[in-house]
Structure 1
């Protein structure tokens, strides 16, 4: 069995198929770890969602902020944004089947010391704690109050997670950390404005992976296309998977056993 981790698809369906062909991927034998943001911005969001869902147990998927945005629009009453490309999903005949499947995906996938989330893992959280916190959100998303939570999920407050938090504030802090984090300060406070490369760090903030940890996990993450697949200056074992396919970069798979990276070029601006 071969295991590959792939960054943000964001509706780049043609490139996804080309990458699977380059990998000689066989769902009866191999496994994909997908770091979230399956949909939005690219032209093939519906096709990507259907393709990944059809892989069944061969695909281990975490939710990204764009996936959650789709759920918030479809089931939480949120408005679409000007650059969204999710209308084909919202109008599809199999819409509810796809949304049910997506809503049941976790925020975190772990295999021993290897852990994948969409945005990364702050140094203040251990692996067991991260699993537990992600589970709180997953429990809410699959429960009777999921619609209410999706309605109230987004916002920039609180800016960091604190153990005593309760209710929507607590869940929002978990979601923001696992799906929107880039730059943080030494206490784990998130900055929501800087989204470019490392030189755009606000004063007092640094990339989450440049802070040391007490343990030594292997952390897989997407979300940050401006890194172009390089967690430069990392003080932890971190693998940046998003190589900006939807922005004209490439779509990249990391072989989790050999460490080799295999990429196909973007076709978005061909």
Structure 2
């Protein structure tokens, strides 16, 4: 039995199947963890979500920013952008069922036995595991509840930028969502910064990758992330960054949690980074 964490797919279904062949995935005994962004930009979001859902408890996925974006578009709160490529999923006969399944997926998954925590993007420096789990549960409860439509309508925005325990309502939910699904860099005081997407070393002076912030309280965790394709593959013992840019002609990467082995499939690329 093996557990494989796989980076952002973004609708690159054929490449996922090639990777699963390469790792000899056996759904009868193996489990897959997905770092989020199952959908968008690649050509086969519908097939990807159908497949992951069909695996049942053999697959775990956390929600990414593109997954949340699709949910918001499906509810009519946003228009399709020129780069969106999930319309076939929304309009499919089983689209409502797939969308319902997706919004019932977590923002954070922690396995105490394996010793790994998986999120899509990042953790606020003030959060330890317990607080991060509690914050994730707050947003998950809203997404899975009767008020999810109102939440999707109001989740967008870059403020508030700083964590305060006394945050309430949509401001609190938006901050939590932005951490789990969008964050890369922080200002020295811990404020979120959303404009720079390049690899560490390319950012303006003063900005800090969230995982290098000196006051980060989750340093004792082994954290698996996607989202940040310009990082490339990182498996440094505490951070396991697995979005290796399949969509852009990079690779789709699987990381075996038991052995520490990384396996990659070279992807032809569905989009240009300039798009």
Normalised by the length of structure 2, the TM-score is: 0.93
**Residue 265, structure 1, aligned to residue 230, structure 2:** no
Structure 1 residue 86 and structure 2 residue 86: aligned? yes
The number of aligned residues is 267
Gaps spanning 5+ residues in structure 1: where? none
SS at match of 1:200: coil
Q: Deviations over 1:218-270 (max 9, x none)?
A: 00000000111137xx7x71011100000000000001011110000112259
The CA RMSD measured in Å over matched residues stands at 1.6
Which runs of structure 2 are paired with 1:32-181 in the superposition (5 Å)? 32-112=32-112, 113-181=115-183
Distance 1:153 1:63 in 2: 14
Among candidates 217, 221, 226, match of residue 225 of structure 2: 221
Q: Note if contact 1:12-1:246 (Cα within 8 Å) is conserved in structure 2.
A: yes
Task: Give the whole-Å Cα distance in 2 for the aligned partners of 1:57 and 1:63.
Answer: 16
CA, structure 1 residues 269+44, in 2 after alignment: closer, same or farther (shift >3 Å)? closer
Partner of 2:192: 190
TM-score, length of structure 1 as denominator length: 0.95
Query: How far off is 1:210 after superposition?
Result: 1.5
C-alpha deviation, 1:44, in angstroms: 1.0
Deviation at 1:147, TM superposition (A): 0.2
Preserved CA contact (<8 Å) 1:76 1:147: no
Structure 2 unpaired stretches of 5+ = none
Write the distance in 2 (CA, Å) between the matches of 1:162 and 1:80.
33
* Matches of 1:16 and 1:155, distance apart in 2: 32
What are the superposed Cα offsets for residues 63-107 of structure 1, whole Å, 9 maximum, x if unpaired? 000000000111252111111101111211110010010010000
State the 1:202 CA deviation.
Answer: 2.7
